Structure 1
Amino acid sequence: MSEHLALDVGGVFAAILLVVVLGFVVVSVRRWLFERAGGTVECSLRTLPTSKSDSLTGDGSDQDGAGVWQLGLGRYKGDELHWHRIFGFRKRPRQVIHRRGLIVSNRRSPKDEEAAALVPDADIIEVRDGDLTVELAMSAAALTGFLAWLEAAPPGFPIDFPG
């Protein structure tokens, strides 16, 4: 009886290990396919509340109200930036940021508690695309590329930068 139990436990352990390895391979191949297509940058994202009232708690104290930082890849596709989670299986982007009407409203350095969750030497910019307000954290080189992508918009694209 104990021989069968040992074989069952070993089989379950092998199956779990196989699923974990297979998941790692799928995530790695997905990332490789995104990067192979070009136009990708490592970019963390977090969603911000759409209005100041969304970030107030019941006692009136001001909380950050922002979501958690999520590590991901930004992929430039024409006039859109497609953002994908780095550890995900979906081919479709989690967020799509449109260049038309995009407003870059703030640029800052990460706070001490944020720095551990972001790529080293990251800069953070706040962007608004209609009702969507997010912060993007990326390296200085990636941020330069992002701003160049914005400035390279065709004539007539209303893009606002902070004054």
Structure 2
Amino acid sequence: MSAALAVLIGVLLLAALMGVRGIVLARSRGFVPCRLREGVQGWKNGVARYADGELHWIPLLGLRMRPRHAIARRGLRVSPRRPEGELWAVDCGGISLAMSEDALTGFLAWLESAPRARIWTSRSRTAVLSAWRRASRGSRRRARRCGTG
């Protein structure tokens, strides 16, 4: 009887910890309620936060506080938004995200504010370096003229 009682107390304690974790995540500053779906599986409830050029998604149910998915902003292509019940959903590769209209607007603004990737080719690198050398050569000449006159 005491072993069954210990197991029951352990299960109740674990459920209480998971519930408190879910409430803390849902109410924490900087987190946005967000559902995630991989492929054809069902929607999973969680929260998303923006960190270091990535969107981190953490499930509400679970014990770990680490993100289960990290979606990089660079090069991410997003489908047009579509209604999904009361939420709005977008597809990002093999993952679908569903969130409120305000949260989705913030997500799309975060995507658009990403710095442009600079692609250096040998031609563009040569052009930039030669322009820099010409400019620095001209400033050295001007400096010599100013010093001698």
Residue identity matched to 2:87: A
Question: Paired residue for 1:51?
Answer: none
Q: Does 1:142 align with 2:107?
A: no
Which protein is richer in helix relative to its size?
2
Distance 1:153 1:39 in 2: 18
Question: Paired residue for 2:133?
Answer: none
Asked if 2 retains the 8 angstrom alpha-carbon contact of 1:106 and 1:127, the reply is: no
Q: Does 1:123 align with 2:88?
A: yes
Distance 1:75 1:19 in 2: 31
TM-score, normalised with respect to structure 1: 0.62
**Identity value in percent:** 43
Deviation at 1:95, TM superposition (A): 1.1
Residue identity matched to 1:98: A
Kindly tell me the number of residue pairs found equivalent between the two proteins: 117
Asked if 1 retains the 8 angstrom alpha-carbon contact of 2:25 and 2:60, the reply is: no
**Equivalences for 1:79-118 in 2 at 5 Å?**
79-110=53-84, 115=85
User: What CA RMSD, in Å, does the superposition of the two structures yield over aligned residues?
Assistant: 2.2
Aligned partner (choices 16, 21, 25) of residue 16 of structure 2:
25
Cα separation, partners in 2 of 1:89 and 1:79, compared to 1, 3 Å? same
Distance 1:40 1:107 in 2: 21
Give structure 2 stretches of 5+ with no counterpart.
119-149
Cα separation, partners in 2 of 1:144 and 1:25, compared to 1, 3 Å? same
Higher relative contact order (CA 8 A, sep 6+): 1
Question: Paired residue for 2:31?
Answer: 40
Larger radius of gyration: 2
TM-score, normalised with respect to structure 2: 0.68
